[in-house]
Amino acid sequence: MQSEIILAGFGGQGVLLIGKLIALAGMDDNREVTWMPAYGPEMRGGTCNCTVVVGDKKIGSPISKRPHHLIALNLPSLDKFEDEVRPGGIIVTNTSLINRRPKRDDIKLVEVPANAIAIEAGSPRAANMVALGAFAAASGLVTLEGLIDVLDKNLAKNPKLAEINRVAVSRGYELGRAGA
Amino acid sequence: MEKKLMKGCEAIGEAAICAGARLFFGYPITPQNEIPEYLSSRMPQVGGTFVQAESEVAASNMLYGASGAGKRVITSSSSPGISLMGEALSYMAGAELPAVIVSIMRAGPGLGGILPSQSDYFQATKGGGHGDYRVMVLAPETVQEAVDHTIKAFDYADKYRNPVIILADGILGQMMEPVTFPEPVRPEDLPEKPWATTGAKGRERNIVNSLYLNPDVLEERNWQLVKKYEAMREDVEFDTYHLDDEVDVMIVAYGTVARIARTAVDTMREQGMRVGLFRPVTVYPFPSDALAEAADKAGAVLTSELSTGQMLEDVKAAIAGKRPVEFFGRVGGNLMAPEEIVEQVTALMERQGRSVA
């Protein structure tokens, strides 16, 4: 089974990083993974996205026009990718910045006030981690332990930030599990 | 062996270190900037040298000089930058110098765009510079293969005393995949190059040159080079997918498009369609014999590229009219979706009067 996920938000929200963390956790779980950023000419403050594919056999296309899942950290990302998600897929929306619900009723919706929870966790910059945790819980694609493990390995240089991220991803995970 | 998640460009940089290269000369251009970026910090850590030249012309001539001195050397660039390196490439081929050139293709012609393309197949396989020369060209489809090809490219370059091009597109350059690296080669353990200009004390002078004003001498030299290019055939590589039995349509694709085509083949196989994929891995020398043999078991052939039809010419030459060869390309930096390849194959089968399961 192959899962294709689009992660999208404003430049600076850390969508490339959480995509990389899913890929790393998948790799540690001995699965096939690809991580592909959209690298077109972008404006500062413009949208940013990447595609992560996790599977059990050699991955073909590293990009997807029909992703299984979407993590949208801002409204333009939901507007742009909502229609592409396959029926039955998960859409995680950041309700701190997105003031509408998806129009689709054939998807599994996971709403998280990611910025608000991140501020409680210690830094508004950890909103991406909240969304990541919620997605992990709703999809079961990677485990919370797996994510915390790659977070520790990759952000070991800054223990304070690592702790904030651990809290944020765990809070997101709880919300994702409750909403799933 | 420890797996690392790396971008194609960075992995190519590390592979060059692994192969014992300690000299990089280059000039920035998207979408290959992560190669020089990576090596600018990595080369000094291993006692190597990174030079950002004033232009691609300068970088490629630095490559020419350092290769003449017997060192393993590498540069990287993208489409318009590779054009500027064409002159030095021809001189290196003429002077029989080994070098590795990484070409991360973007969309053209002219300044074009920075998104992925396969628009420089002709440039890599049919010349790029002037004169009657050839270079070996490897076309990886995964980050692991990019690593393996980069290491092999140095060995081939030394074996044939010829430049070798790694031909990939922006997708492979920007994508991250898990990779492992082999045990690194120490530069001091590499075989001696008795032809290199390392100082002539106590021996005959070595001369690195491509100027031959006597037509008879130059003609002889040209035919000698042809023998070498023909010898490269022993290192031809290709890959097949679902081609063991007869197929209605055989897709031919390399690099990123081969990956997209593999997804399309999986979809079509699930629907019971008899479809397979032939992937040239070396695009010069081109796996013509293997492709012709595979075509014997196929009803028709669909070549798919991110160009308006370049490898198509090699495919047609190999198949020599024995089977219909059709083409599907996307250009300008756009990619085809697997679904588009499925549509193209389905339409081709209908035109051929074959039932689509």
- DSSP, collapsed to helix, strand or coil, labels residue B304 as strand
Mean pLDDT for B138-164 is 98
pLDDT, tens digit, for every residue of B18-45? 999 999 999 999 999 999 999 999 999 9
Q: Are B171 and B248 members of one domain?
A: no
Asked if B231 reaches chain A (Cβ–Cβ under 8 Å), the answer is no
pLDDT of A40 reads 73
Cβ-based neighbour number of residue B18 at 10 Å: 18
Q: Give the angle A55-A56-A60 at the CA atoms, nearest 5°.
A: 60
Reported confidence tier of residue B127, pLDDT bands at 50, 70, 90: confident
b/e sequence A76-111, b meaning 16+ C-beta within 10 Å: bbbebbbeebeeebbbbbbebbbeeebeeeebbebb
Asked whether B14 and B147 are in contact (CB, 8 A), the reply is yes
Would you say residue B88 lies in a domain?
Answer: yes
**What is the Cβ-side half-sphere exposure of residue B318, based on CA atoms within 13 angstroms?**
25
Q: Are B230 and B242 members of one domain?
A: no
Number of continuous H segments (helices) and E segments (strands) in chain B: 13, 15
Would you say residue B185 lies in a domain?
Answer: yes
Q: What is the DSSP letter of B254?
A: -
Would you say residue B357 lies in a domain?
Answer: no
Q: What is the DSSP letter of B102?
A: E
pLDDT of B356 reads 73
| The model's pTM | 0.96
Spatial separation of the C-alpha atoms in residues B312 and B321, rounded to whole Å? 13
Would you say residue B329 lies in a domain?
Answer: yes
pLDDT of B322 reads 97
Q: Are B193 and B313 members of one domain?
A: no
Give strand pairing partners of A94. A112
Which one of B31, B261, B266 has the shortest CB-CB distance to A39? B31
Backbone dihedral angles phi then psi of residue B295, each to the nearest 5 degrees: -65, -25
H or E segment to which residue A37 belongs: strand A32-37
Asked whether A132 and A148 are in contact (CB, 8 A), the reply is no
pLDDT, tens digit, for every residue of B196-251? 999 999 999 999 999 999 999 999 999 999 999 999 999 999 999 999 999 999 99
CATH of the domain at A64: 3.40.920.10
Cβ of A65 and B5 within 8 Å? no
Cβ of A40 and B114 within 8 Å? yes
pLDDT, tens digit, for every residue of A17-70? 999 999 999 999 999 999 999 977 766 677 899 999 999 999 999 999 999 999
Domain boundary among B234, B264, B297: B234
Q: Which of residues 146-205 of B touch A (CB under 8 A)?
A: 170-171, 174-178
pLDDT of B355 reads 77
Residues of chain A with pLDDT under 70: 42-44, 180
Determine how β-strand B23-26 pairs with β-strand B73-77.
parallel
How many domains in chain A?
A: 1
Would you say residue B154 lies in a domain?
Answer: yes
Determine how β-strand A47-55 pairs with β-strand A3-10.
antiparallel
Asked if B335 reaches chain A (Cβ–Cβ under 8 Å), the answer is yes
pLDDT of A47 reads 82
User: Chain A residue with minimal CA distance to B3?
Assistant: A27
- Please name the residues in contact with A119: beta carbons below 8 A apart, sequence gap of 6 or more: none
Residue B255 pLDDT more than 80?
yes
Query: Nearest-CA neighbor of B249 among B92, B330, B357?
Result: B357
CATH of the domain at B122: 3.40.50.970
Residue type at position B208:
V
User: Chain B residue with minimal CA distance to A16?
Assistant: B176
B170 to chain A: which residues are within 8 Å by CB?
A: 39
A37 to chain B: which residues are within 8 Å by CB?
A: 174
Distances in Å between the Cα of B164 and the Cα atoms of B77, B79, B253, B287 are: 14, 16, 21, 17
Tell me if the bond preceding B31 is cis, omega within 30° of 0. yes
pLDDT of B234 reads 97
Asked whether B31 and B58 are in contact (CB, 8 A), the reply is no
Q: Are B45 and B144 members of one domain?
A: yes
Query: Nearest-CA neighbor of B179 among B216, B227, B145?
Result: B145
b/e sequence B278-291, b meaning 16+ C-beta within 10 Å: bbbbbbbbbbbebb
Q: Are B212 and B125 members of one domain?
A: yes
Spatial separation of the C-alpha atoms in residues A24 and A164, rounded to whole Å? 19
Mean pLDDT for B9-21 is 98
Mean pLDDT for B72-96 is 98
Asked if B111 reaches chain A (Cβ–Cβ under 8 Å), the answer is no
Q: Are B169 and B315 members of one domain?
A: no
What DSSP string runs through B150-218?
Answer: HHHHHHHHHHHTSEEEEEEEHHHHH-EEEE--PPPPPGGGSPP-TTS-S--TTSPPP-------SHHHH
Would you say residue B356 lies in a domain?
Answer: no
Structure tokens at A83: 């229609």
Q: Are B305 and B225 members of one domain?
A: no
- Provide the CA B288 distance to its chain's centre, in angstroms: 16
pLDDT of B48 reads 98
Rounded to the nearest integer, the mean pLDDT of chain B is 97
pLDDT of B357 reads 60
How many domains in chain B?
A: 2
- DSSP, collapsed to helix, strand or coil, labels residue B136 as strand
Q: Are B215 and B242 members of one domain?
A: no
Q: Which domain holds residue A116?
A: 3-179
Query: Nearest-CA neighbor of B187 among B66, B292, B105?
Result: B66
Cβ of B259 and A37 within 8 Å? no
Q: Are B245 and B106 members of one domain?
A: no
Spatial separation of the C-alpha atoms in residues B120 and B137, rounded to whole Å? 11
Asked if B3 reaches chain A (Cβ–Cβ under 8 Å), the answer is yes
Domain boundary among B234, B252, B273: B234
Q: Are B210 and B292 members of one domain?
A: no
Q: Which domain holds residue B315?
A: 238-351
Would you say residue B250 lies in a domain?
Answer: yes
Burial, B251: exposed, middle or buried (Cβ in 10 Å; 0-12, 13-18, 19+)? Answer: buried
